Structure 1
């Protein structure tokens, strides 16, 4: 069970988190979680280049260590980089100290203020611990969840999810993972073409 559009109540409960960006401009903030990995991340980078688009990649530290060349390409292409923990930890099932140490392990490699909690699950005490460890941290959530990770979701339905709910300033979540690949490779170029024709531009989240 997951919500495609983040409800306003959740945003009010966690006002210290970033849910969307400036809503006065026709800009969309595409984000990709769980990479970098071969084939999938590279495929996404090629699509983004076609539209002269910048995006934000929330990287798992272990994947960066395994695939440094792909990570370097992300940086070379001018995309923003975010921390997604070293081992994709679920905050609700992880104690504060373990969570913080896992974050810091990745922070040593990426050195970025952008952070997204895996699964969007994080405790208040973990938020405070991260803020204390890195005062400039920006904990980024989203207002549109594509559902590309859902293996039971048809690509056409995934496309409808993002087209129906994305608006100016939206932070949209995709995944550069094998699990999501069938959907993201279908949805991303089609959605970007429609958005581009509607006058939208694609920006990376500011660091």
Structure 2
């Protein structure tokens, strides 16, 4: 990601979780911010309309596997199959949206974020050969930690993010309280400093 421009890449893992995702979409819209949602296939099957809502709002949808396996403990063929299955689900929602609104989305970027950040070299090579970009991060708010305060979560971002940073928030009920506080503070702080928020493409 460019490190010489005031751009930050907000990302949200583990969704879609309708009540959390829609709250996030509303907040992002109020700041004219774009983001990337790394969705789990199992949740896409449960909440396809929410995926379409993400896409209609102009955000990117990335692949976060089907059921969040640990790459270091998972057979490589099974791991890759999880990614392919989830990509089919993402593509289906794009196709469905294009039927409703012709040519609204021209393509799906093949973005993959490994659950837990765990991926074996063989798994990574196979996915890259299939055209995927593997997207990690450089700022982790720890928004799922029960022991962390709201302000501590926000400071994890504000103290560590800068030009080109990729921040990982979580689109889940468990992380909701800390995520909502930290995301709000992040958008406020960096918007005042002249940053823009873009999706990964």
TM > 0.5: yes
Following superposition, which runs of at least 4 residues in structure 1 exceed 4 angstroms of deviation? Answer: none
1:100-143 CA distances to partner (integer Å, 9 max, x unpaired)?
111111111224410000110111111112123x1x21100001
Any gaps of 5 or more consecutive residues in structure 1?
1-20
Query: Shift in Å at residue 69 of structure 1?
Result: 1.1
Tell me the distance in 2 between the aligned counterparts of 1:205 and 1:123. 23
Which residue does the alignment assign to 2:84? 104
Which residue does the alignment assign to 1:152? 147
Which residue does the alignment assign to 1:138? 133
Which of the residues 165, 176, 180 maps onto 1:170?
165
Query: Shift in Å at residue 147 of structure 1?
Result: 0.7
After the TM superposition, which residues 1-207 of structure 1 pair with which residues of structure 2 at under 5 Å, given as runs? 21-111=1-91, 112-132=109-129, 134=130, 136-206=131-201
1:160-202 CA distances to partner (integer Å, 9 max, x unpaired)?
1000000100000001111110101111112101110011100
- The alignment of Structure 1 onto Structure 2 pairs a total of residues equal to 184
Task: Give TM-score, length-normalised by structure 2.
Answer: 0.89
Which residue does the alignment assign to 1:8? none
Any gaps of 5 or more consecutive residues in structure 2?
92-108
1:40-93 CA distances to partner (integer Å, 9 max, x unpaired)?
111111110110000000000110110011111000001011000011111011
Tell me the distance in 2 between the aligned counterparts of 1:137 and 1:146. 26
Tell me the distance in 2 between the aligned counterparts of 1:167 and 1:75. 26
Task: Give TM-score, length-normalised by structure 1.
Answer: 0.87
Query: Shift in Å at residue 95 of structure 1?
Result: 1.0
Tell me the distance in 2 between the aligned counterparts of 1:124 and 1:164. 31
- Matched residue of 2:4: which SS? coil
